[in-house]
Amino acid sequence: MSTLLAPFAGWCAALDEVPDAAFAQRMLGDGVAIDPTGNELRAPCDGEVISIAASRHALALRTTAGAEVLMHVGIDTVGLAGEGFEVRVRKGDRVRSGDLLLTFDLDLVARKAPSLMTPIIITNGERFRIKNAHSNRSVAIGDPLFELEEIGGAEHGAPATSGAPVVSEALVVTHAHGIHARPAAVIARIAKGLTYELEIRARGRSARARSTVALMSLGVRGGDEVVIAGFEPAAAAGIAAIATAIRNLEAAPPPAPVAATPVKASHEPDSLRGVIASRGLATGPAFYLVAAEIPVAEAGHGADKELASLERARDVVRARLSKLATTAAPTVREIMTAHLELLDDPELTDAARRFISAGKSAAFAWRASLRASAHELEATGDTRLAERVDDLRDLETQVLVAIDGTQAPNFEIPQGGILLARDLTPSQLIDIDTGKLGGIALGGGGPTSHVAILAGTLGIPMLVAVGPALLEVPAGAQVILDAGEGVLRTNLSVQALTAARAQIDQRRVQRALDIEAAQSNCQLASGERIEVFANLTGTVADAKLAVAEGAEGCGLLRTEFLFLERTTAPDRDEQLRCYQQVAEVLGSRPLIIRTLDIGGDKPIPYLPLPPEDNPALGLRGIRTSLWRPDLLEAQLRALLGVRPACRILLPMITDIAEIRAVRRMLDALCTELGTAPPLLGAMIETPAAAMLAEAIAREVDFLSIGTNDLAQYALAMDRGHAELAARIDGLHPAVLRLIEATCKGATAHHRPVAVCGGLASDPAAVPVLLGLGVSELSVVPTLIPQLKSLIRGLSGNSCRAVASRALVLESAEQVRAAVREFTQ
C-alpha cells in the first residue's frame, strides 16, 4: 500500500465534479481532482516522469510500484498550446515526492480555460485500486490524497506483453509528423499479420502494435526514440519488418480534395473566416443538426449478457459498413474501411470488455472506451491526430444506436440549406439528403478529416475551423458560404444575396456548357493543339468518369495502388487484367502507365527497403524498380500485353543510365515476345532531371513533369511538413525556370512535354505552363471541362508573354499577381 500526496494546495473534490465527461465518468481512470490556489505542480510521490504533453499542460509519473499517475492541469487546456505553462522536468527524470514538476500562470489559465480543476488519476486501474480517497476538503501541498493497493497483473487485465522483452530494437523516428494516423495504420497492418504480440514503447508509454488507436495515442513526433519489443525469440522477424516500415515512412498528408488553404482574415463586419476544405459557392438558410446525446445506463445486467449485446451491435455496424465499403464511391469506401478497422481495434474492444467485466453496461463500456481514446488523441496537441476524434465519435454513435435498437435521428434539411455545426461525422453526412444540401461550415474540424474529404468528393462546398462564433448564427438566417475566399457572410442585404445567387447560377450554367464542350479536342484560341488528359488510380470507375468528363486520354495511371495494402506483389496476369480494363474503357485514347513509384512515402510489407536516414532522397521510383528487377520485369511483361499498346512512363529519373537499363530490359522482352517497342517516357521530378532534360529527351519519346516533387526538391521544403507545406508553390520562379529548361531540352529533340503534377490543375498556372512550352496537361477528371474552357480562351502569344514575365519575378506571389492581371 502506498499513499499519493497533494501536488498543490486547493480544494480537493471527487472526479464527479470535474466539468468534463471523460474525467467525471472515469474513462481515463479513477482518482480525485483539485481546484488549485497556487501555480506550482509538485510530485505526489517518488517515481519517473513517463510522459509530458506536447502542450505542457499535463504530465504522468510511474511510481516505484508501477502505478501510472496522470496530472492534467485544468480542463481543455490543450487548446492553450502551451501558453502559460513551463515544465521543469524532462521525460525519464527520476523525481522525489514534493519535487517541482511544472509552473503555470494561474490567472491566464483561469481566464482562458473552462476550469482549473486538475484531475489526478491512476490510468492503469487494472493493476491498482484507490482506497481511502480524501475529497470534499481543503488540502495543502503534501497532504494525503488517497492510498493505492496493487490488485495483480495479467489476471486483472494487464497486457499479456508486459515485462521484459526477449528481443527489441530501438530507433529514432526521423520524419516530421511522427507516428500519426497513416504510419500507425501501416504498423498495425504488419502487426496483425503476425502470430505473436509486439509492443511499441515511446515517450514513457507503451502500446500494442496491433492497435492503430493506441499507437496514435503515444503522440510520437519527429525525433522521438521508439522501442519495438517482442516477448519470444520468433518476434525478431516482425520487429525488423516494423522497424523498416518506421524508417521508411514519410510524413505525407492524407489525400484531400483541395489543399489545406489558410485564409486571410476578412475585414467585413458580418463575415466569419474559416479554412477551405472543399471549394465552391453556396447561399441558403442556415440550419443545425440538433441531436441529443444518446443516454446510456452505467450499470449492466451481467457480463455475459452485456458482452453479447456489444458483439451483436458491432456485427450490425460491421455489416452496414462492409456493404458501404463494397458499393460506395472510392472515397466513401476508404472512409468506411477505416471505420471497420476502428470497429475491430483490439485496444478499443479490450477496454470495453474490461468495463463490462467491472459491471458496466455494453453501451457505457463502449462509450467509455472510445471517449478515453478520443481524449488521449486530443491531448497529444497534434491537430491532425485530433481530426481522427470525429471518427471515434461517429463509431460511438453507430454502435450505441445498434445496441439500443433504435433508428439514428433524422434531420430536416431546408432546400439549399447551409449546415452549421461544431463538428460532423462521416456517417451523418452519408445519411442525410445531400441533394438538398447547399454547403457546410463547421466550427471545428480540419481540412484533412474524413468528413472534409467526403464533402469534396460529393462536390459540397465546405469550410472548417470557423470557430465558436459560427454557432451564434441564427437558424434560418440567409448566409453566403464562399469556400473559394474562405468566408461565411451573414446579415446580408438583398443586393448581396441577389448577386451571389446570380453568380451561382452562372457557374452552374457554365459547368453544363463546359461538360458539353469537353467532348471535343482542345486547342488555344490561336490554334495550337493542347491535350488535356486525366490522372487515374487504375479503377474502371475512374476511367469511366474521365471519359465522361472529356479526357482525351490518360496522362498518368498510378500503378502503385495495385501494390499497396497486400502481403505479396501482384503477378503479371493480375496486373495485365487491371491495366487492360482501363484500356478498354479509354478505347483508342492514349494510355500512359507509370511503372511502380514506391519508396519512403509508400512502404509495403513485402518489399522491406534498407534503412534510410532520409527516404525522400533514397530508394524511390525507378531506383526501387532497378533494385528489384524481378518486380520490374513482371510489370513490363504486363504492360507489353496491353492492347491497344500503352505508353510507359518511368518515375524519378535522375540520370541517363537508369533509362538505358530499363530500355535494355524492354528490348529483350520485346524480342522474346515478338512485339514492337512501346513509347517510353521519363518523369522530370528533380532539378537534376530538369538540367539534363536535353540528354534525357534524346533517350525517350516524351517527358512528363511531376511538379509536386519538383517544387519540393527545388525549394528544399518537405511537402508533408506542417509548417512548410503551404509555402511550396509550383509557381515559384525557381521552379518555373526548371520547367522552362525541361521544355527547351525537349524541343531540341522534338519531344512533347506534359505536366501531370498538381500545378496542371491550378487555373492560375495554366497560362504560364503553356507559355513555357507544355503541350499536355493531365489532371483530376472533374477539372477537365473547366480547364478546356480556360485553354480555349487563351492565345499562344499571350501565354508566352505572361510566362516570360513570370520567369524574371522574385516570388510565387508576384507570379500569381501577374497572372491575375493577365486574365482580367
The per-residue DSSP string of 327-387 comes to: HS-HHHHHHHHHHHHHHT-HHHHHHHHHHHHTTB-HHHHHHHHHHHHHHHHHHT--HHHHT
What DSSP string runs through 417-458? EEEEES---HHHHHHS-TTTEEEEEESS--TTSHHHHHHHHH
Other CB atoms within 10 Å distance of the CB of residue 512? 11
Is 768 in contact with 802 (CB distance < 8 Å)? Answer: yes
The one-letter amino acid code at 72 reads: H
CA distances from 369 to 60, 345, 362, 392 (A): 20, 11, 11, 10
Contact 682, 653 (CB under 8 A): yes
Choose the catalytic residue: 522, 646, 756, 799.
Answer: 756
Chain centroid, CA 323 distance in Å: 24
157: left (phi over 0), alpha (psi -120 to 50) or beta: left
- Which residue from 469, 85, 417 is spatially nearest to 266, judged by alpha carbons? 469
- Annotated catalytic, 450? yes
Give the angle subtended at the CA of 267 by the CAs of 265 and 272, to the nearest 5°: 60
Instruction: Please state whether the peptide bond connecting residue 257 to the residue before it is cis, i.e. omega within 30 degrees of 0.
Output: no
Enumerate the H helices of 226-361 as residue ranges.
236-247, 303-327, 330-343, 346-357
495, burial (CB in 10 Å: exposed 0-12, middle 13-18, buried 19+): exposed
756 catalytically annotated:
yes
CA–CA gap between residue 308 and residue 464 (Å, rounded) = 39
Q: How many Cα atoms occupy the beta-carbon half-sphere of 331 within 13 Å?
A: 18
Q: How far apart are CA 777 and CA 754, in angstroms?
A: 6
Q: How long a stretch of residues is the chain?
A: 824
* Measured distance CA(382)–CA(428) in Å, rounded: 25
CA distance linking residue 708 with residue 731, whole number of Å: 11
Neighbours of 308 (CB within 10 A): 12
d(CA 122, CA 107): 28
Give the three-class secondary structure for 41: strand
- Side-by-side strand order, sheet with 118-122: 94-95, 47-52, 58-63, 68-72, 118-122, 30-36, 10-14, 137-139
φ/ψ of 785, rounded to 5, equals: -60, -45
709 Cβ contact partners less than 8 Å away, ≥ 6 residues apart = 652, 685, 686, 757
DSSP 3-state of 193: coil
Q: How far is CA 637 from CA 11, 633, 667, in A?
A: 75, 6, 11
What letter does residue 596 receive in the DSSP assignment? P
Active-site position among 450, 554, 578, 743:
450
Positions marked catalytic: 450, 756
